[in-house]
Structure 1
């Protein structure tokens, strides 16, 4: 069945993450009186960020400092991330990302991005990379623009409505986390691809049974081209 759309995650999939998201999460928790292990933050990568904070607080079962809440930790995290992406010299697209976007468009396949970030953080990334109104990106959906984030299917449904793609089997989902894989499966995407450039190792990704595991976006051509022809 011909592919009509590829939905990519952002951080760790198409945009480099050098552990900065994990560190920022832990900094926001620490400011609220809770020390969180890096590996526990990695487990909630890809989730809507306020949901990730709720999961961690349920896991640790420790009260925050007086005056702090889930909402305040989330606001602190958001502010820190926006400032980071607006100023860091290390922000960059992952290798082959823009070439793959261009190649997909050249063969008639639309490109969309979805993310666990809120729109302010997403915009900070898009602005710095000049991906706002990018000719090869049909649309971008952030987790705060839909009722629920991953692994729920609302972001992909929103993308389908915008792009006019009616059959999820004609969609390829690409992401670097467990909930990226689950999002693709729950939405009924025809192909679900995990990539090792983000928070999860190849061994970890294997346990979620994506259709393919890749180590570089350049490998997408070998998967998509035979399906497209």
Structure 2
């Protein structure tokens, strides 16, 4: 029986379209480097600084830590402004309905982000999900030792709710690394959400328990799992 649901923020419960990708592209441009959205996508499923270092090394053969930090500073500035001011930023369709359904089932809800705590708090202040008791908590990238595919975020949420057995945890994200994160934690149900940033074939790489196209599909998977158990 699922007791804890852990879902990504960006492009899973929060509809950012390609705003994060474009912010990453602009951040690299800030130091005179050109990348495209596909390359920017490599920065998203992991803590931002980790992704930035990866792109610098693989695309530009650079290990310049000062440059990586500068790009990360630009990125946080751009995305914080977007989260505060954008009229296009909105919850992913079905997100708040899903939270209510999970609440009715007695399932705790945590959201995770590749951004730092300051950015997460801006988003939560805007959407009021914690204030309105729609979710139980959030975990930011600067609060854990290692990002996806390592299970640190999941384990932190489990610890917060005194849950010892990961088999009662559901993990949902929009990247194969989310699935690997869930599997590395031992989660009982690992779903990947089709947000449009990756193709269905790419999403299959992590071998998820299911690929969903709407958040409203999640309760069906939970119910099926409970029937099996």
Name the TM-score class by shorter chain: over 0.9
Structure-to-structure mapping, 1:120-139, within 5 angstroms? 120-139=118-137
* Separation in 1, partners of 2:196, 2:49: 20
* Correspondent of 2:158 among 137, 157, 160: 160
Q: Does 1:27 align with 2:26?
A: yes
Is the Cα contact below 8 Å between 2:57 and 2:63 reproduced in 1? no
- Change beyond 3 A, Cα 1:206–1:110: same
* Separation in 2, partners of 1:162, 1:200: 32
Q: Does 1:46 align with 2:76?
A: no
Q: Which has the higher contact order (CA 8 A, sep 6+)?
A: 1
For these two proteins, the number of residue pairs brought into alignment is: 227
* Separation in 2, partners of 1:218, 1:171: 18
* Separation in 2, partners of 1:98, 1:40: 31
Q: For residues 128-150 of structure 1, what are the alpha-carbon distances to aligned partners after superposition, in whole Å with 9 as ceiling and x for unaligned?
A: 11123341311110010111111
User: After the TM superposition, which parts of structure 1 deviate over 4 Å for at least 4 consecutive aligned residues?
Assistant: 62-65
Task: Give the TM-score, by structure 1 length.
Answer: 0.94
* Separation in 2, partners of 1:64, 1:96: 41
Q: Show the counterpart of 2:109.
A: 111
* Separation in 2, partners of 1:220, 1:93: 16
Q: Show the counterpart of 2:9.
A: 10
Deviation at 1:50, TM superposition (A): 0.4
Q: For residues 47-80 of structure 1, what are the alpha-carbon distances to aligned partners after superposition, in whole Å with 9 as ceiling and x for unaligned?
A: 1000010010011125599x95111110110011
- Determine helix, strand or coil for the equivalent of 1:69: helix
- Determine helix, strand or coil for the equivalent of 1:35: coil
* Separation in 2, partners of 1:10, 1:132: 13
* Separation in 1, partners of 2:8, 2:147: 12
Deviation at 1:178, TM superposition (A): 2.2
Q: Show the counterpart of 1:56.
A: 55
Q: For residues 200-221 of structure 1, what are the alpha-carbon distances to aligned partners after superposition, in whole Å with 9 as ceiling and x for unaligned?
A: 2211101221110000001112
Is the Cα contact below 8 Å between 2:15 and 2:92 reproduced in 1? yes
CA-atom RMSD in angstroms = 1.8
Q: Tell me, which stretches of 5 or more residues in structure 2 are unaligned?
A: none
* Separation in 2, partners of 1:113, 1:91: 17
